[in-house]
Structure 1
Amino acid sequence: MLCGVSDQWIPCDIDPALHPLVSARLRRGPVRLTVDGTSTLGHLVESVGVPLTEVGVLLADGAPVPASHLPSPAEHVAVRAVSRPQQVPGAPLRFLLDVHLGTLARRLRLLGVDAAYDSVDAGDPALAARSAAERRVLLSRDRGLLQRREPWAGAYVYSHRPEEQVRDVLGRFRPQLRPWTRCTACNGTLREAGADEVHEALEGGTRRSYEVFARCTACGKVYWRGAHFARLDAMVREAVAEFGAVPPG
C-alpha cells in the first residue's frame, strides 16, 4: 500500500505496538512510505497515523535517525515504539488531559497524580499552549492534537476503558502515587480537617456518622469515607500493588 501518489516508496517496518494507530486503509499489508525528497521521515510517519509522541526510535537502514531525516528510495526505515517506563525530562511529572478524558483525570487525582483537566473544551491550540507553558504531558486520544508541535510532551491514550487507561498511563510514565492527597474535582491538594471546621458543609447524618475529614485547599470541597469509599479504596489498592506508592510523610 502506498502513502501518496509518487511511485518512489520505501518499506516501513512499524512496531506492532503502534499498529492500532496506523490508518485503517493501510493495515491490510506492509506499510510503504512515499519519498519526494522534501518530506521528512517524521512527517511521513505521522501521515500514516502515528504521532511522534509514540515513537521511541526512527531507524534508516538500521541506524537511528532524527525525525528531520530525509529518506531516500534506497533506504529501509523502521519505527520503534517508546520504551516503558518512558523517561520525561524535568520534574515534577504533571499531566494535562483533554476534554474527553474526565474519568481518567479523576482516577489519576484519586491516586495523587497531578492531572489538570477542564470539562469545557478549550480547543486544541489552547491545550497545546498550556502543555508547553506548564510543562505538562498532554494525554489524548486525538492523534491530530498530539501531532501539533506546541505541546511540551504528549502521549496517546490507547483504550476507551478508564481502568485500562489508568494502567496504560501508570505503566508508561510511572508517576509517583500519593493516594488520597488530591481533590478529584479540581486537582487541588487535600489537608486534614476537623469536624467543627467543615461543619457548615455537612448534612446532619454525615456529621453524626463520620469523624475524619479532608478539605481541598483550592476549592474547599470536603471529603470523608462515605458509601463509595470501599470501591474507591479497592481501586487505589490495586494500583498501588502494581505500581507502588510514595510512603507518607
Structure 2
Amino acid sequence: MNDFQIQLRNVNVTRYVTPLREGGSMPAIAEADDGFLYVLKFRGAGQGPRALIAELIGGEIARILGFRVPELVFASLDEAFGRTEPDEEIQDLLKASVGLNLALHYLSGAITFDPTVTKIDTKLASQIVWLDCFLTNMDRTCRNTNMLVWHKELWLIDHGASLYFHHSWQNWEEQAKRPFVLVKDHVLLPWASELELVDSEFRVLLNAAHIRSVVNLIPDVWLEGEVNFETKEAHREAYAKFLESRLAHSAIFLKEAQHAREVFI
C-alpha cells in the first residue's frame, strides 16, 4: 500500500465554449486537445489556487472511497485566449489563469440531483455525509446539491468549497479535530442513518498512503505565495497531516453529524 500512486492526465485547452455563470467562480465549458469537453476551473478566479487544491483533494479522495466523480485533469491555458475574448470580465479571468488549471470531464446531458425526485438509499446518503464532514465541505445543501444524475447514476462534483481552513491556516492542527457544524445544512442528512457503519468501512478504505498520494498531486505553481510555510514541501505536509489527523479523529465529526440528524428529524 505504500506504493499507492495517483496520476492525472494533462491536457491543453483549445477552445473556450461557454461560461457557467451560475458558479461563483465562473467556471466554463471548454474543449481540450484530446477532443473532450471539460468544466474548467480557473486558478485566477476569486478563491485562487486554494479552490483548485480543494477540488483536487476532495475529488480524488472521493474517488478512492468509491464515489463516482468526473475525471479530473490538469488543464493548461495559453495566453492567447485572453486576447480574443470579447467579454471583458471573462477576458480578465482568462488572463489571470494562464498556465495550469484544473478541469472535470463534462457529463453531457446530466441533470442536477433533486432529493424530492431521485431517492437514494441510506447507505449512500451516509457515505456522502461522512465524506463532506471529513472534507469540511460546506457546499452540499438543498440550495446547491453539487450532485448530478448521469445515466441513472449519482455523480459528485464541485469540492472547491472544502478544506476552508486553508484560506487562513489559523490553528489548522486544532481545526483538524473539530466537528463539522455545518453538517446541519447537508441535503442528505435526513437519510444518513448508517454513519457508524460507514465510518468503520471508510477508515479501512482510506489511509495515510492514499492521502499523501493525493496531496502529492498538488502542483508547485498552486502553492506559490503562501506565507505560512517556508517550503512547498512543508505546505503539502500540512495538508497531509490535517487529513490524517481528521481521519484519526473521525469520531468527533461523526458524533456531530449524528447529533445534527437527531435535531433535524
TM range (shorter): under 0.3
**Which protein has the bigger helix share?**
2
Higher relative contact order (CA 8 A, sep 6+): 2
TM-score w.r.t. the length of structure 2 is 0.24
Q: Max radius of gyration: which structure?
A: 1
